[in-house]
Chains A and B, each alone.
Chain A
Amino acid sequence: MKSSVDIAVEAMRQSNPVPDPASLADVMMRPEVFLTTTKETSPAMSTTQQATHPPTGETPHRRRNLTALVAAFAVVLVVGAIIALLTATQTQEPATPADVTQAFIDARNAGDGESLSAMLSEGAFIYGGGADSSATLASQAEWFGAVGWEWTLVDCEEGPGSAETQVHCSYAHDNAWSRALGIEQINDGGAFTFVVADGTIKSFVHDWQQTTFSPAVWAVFVTWVRDNHIEQLPVILSDECCTAITTAEANAVWQELTVEFVAEVEASS
């Protein structure tokens, strides 16, 4: 008898949208397109861009027909989108607390502060992990995105309750620095505790334990910045060692430094 994991894997294998890559052969361009870099045919030019720059020599009549076709297609698309939207809103099931918390972590991993804020209820209680309000949580998420931070929920327990549900999750995490250093996802014993009500998050508490991560990853990166870009330290840290500045300007610097750090570590390993 197959295990439930085997059955799930087989089901996913069968749902592969492109089981045979050869079926896509019709769109393959000639490699010479990339080998000659000219202004007219840049290798970075997308097929969409190429489609919007047709070769000259078309007749006005043909161009008019094309415009009418594109306009008709656009109308069909808009009508289709409205119908799809109406259908989706009618059949959408309410999100479970587990779905809400996972979506929250996904947005955090994607560095999407706006989506993160939209998931919080008004006046949500935010505490721990360097954030104390929905605004700081959002800017911190942008920072996580800038340095490739990824949080993986390991085990979640839901408490009782119908109106409000408490969800307590242990997690493992890594970022671009740790991955470059070849360090696996770290579980320092930290945890997230959510309170979910009506599909939104009323409370988010982050118990961020860093006993392993701090010396193995954080300190390595900060030392590298100190050695190579000491002038940037006050731009990214408010105390020269431990507290990240997560404004948009600082996040851009964090990202630049991260890219350079990763390239240097990978080149030396």
Chain B
Amino acid sequence: MAGPYRGRETWRGLMDPNANERFTRLYAAHYLAVLAYCARRVSRSEAEDITNEAFAVLWRKMDQFDPESPLPWLYRVALGLIKNRRRATRRTAALVSKLGGMGKRADDAVDVVVVRRERDREVLGVLGRLSNSDQEVLRLSIWEELPAADIGLVLGCSTSAAEQRLHRAKKRLAQKLSPILPRSAPSPQSLEEGGRP
């Protein structure tokens, strides 16, 4: 097949004959992690779409890609795609609302996640009331379990800035969660000794 896109693929193959192999390795190693990252932020079907788009971006950039820290790079791409979708959804919702249709909050379309317990629902509700930047830094640290240096790579800031953001976000999360969480979870031992929850 002729055409610029095909030509680009051929060119990449000439420049980097191992691109296919490297991509396959990266895909096998990180696909599920990226999919989980997306599924923690958007609905399942959107998560699959965004993950595929992120790997399509990776494939297009294989010739300039530094594989030293691929996962934060992929998370960063996925985050950008999620933000783009949110923005597009918001514009569509605003347009529908203007046209007199039944407007739908933009985030409802993408922030549907499976909630397993009532407590989780409450915690996620509180999380959703924090700023977007607080939510993201908390998710990266607590759910993706990234160290501050990698969080910085995803968010495009320095390690110390990521640490500061995380510290502040944790404090705000604790403040907002304090009305619904017990001050201290009882240990099994304290219950055995007659302690009360």
Residue from B33, B116, B133, B155 within 8 A of A21 (CB atoms)? B33
Q: In the complex, how many residue pairs between chain A and chain B have their CB atoms under 8 Å apart?
A: 174
B1 touching A184, Cβ below 8 Å:
no
CB–CB A22/B32 < 8 A: yes
Query: Which residues of B sit under 8 angstroms from A4, Cβ to Cβ?
Result: 174, 177-178, 181, 183
Question: Which residues of chain B have C-beta atoms less than 8 A from A63's C-beta?
Answer: none
Of all chain A residues, which has the CB nearest B123? A15
Given A8-B174, A21-B32, are A99 and B157 neighbors across the interface (CB < 8 Å)?
A: no
Q: Does B69 contact A (CB under 8 A)?
A: no
Interfacial chain B residues near A44, Cβ < 8 Å: 52-53, 56
Q: Is the CB of A99 within 8 A of B129?
A: yes
| Cross-interface CB contact of B156 among A15, A99, A102, A180, cutoff 8 Å | A180
Q: How large is the interface on B (under 10, 10 to 19, 20 to 34, 35 or more residues)?
A: 35 or more
Q: Are A24 and B32 in contact (CB under 8 A)?
A: yes
Which of A66-74, A149-157, A199-207 participates in binding chain B?
A149-157
Chain B residues with Cβ below 8 Å from A25 are 32
User: Is B131 in contact with A8, judged by CB distance below 8 angstroms?
Assistant: no
> From B141, which residue of chain A is reached at the shortest CB distance?
A9
Q: A38-B1, A81-B104 given as contacts; is B185 within 8 A of A185 (CB)?
A: no
Check B5–A37 contact: CB distance below 8 A: yes
Q: Is A109 an interface residue (CB 8 A)?
A: yes
Considering the complex of A and B, which 7 residue pairs feature the smallest CB-CB distances, nearest first? A21-B36, A15-B120, A43-B56, A184-B161, A46-B49, A8-B174, A179-B156
22 A-B pairs (CB sep. < 8 Å): A4-B181, A5-B171, A7-B181, A7-B185, A8-B170, A8-B178, A12-B127, A17-B115, A17-B124, A24-B36, A27-B35, A34-B27, A35-B20, A44-B52, A44-B53, A48-B49, A81-B102, A106-B131, A109-B133, A114-B91, A184-B161, A185-B161
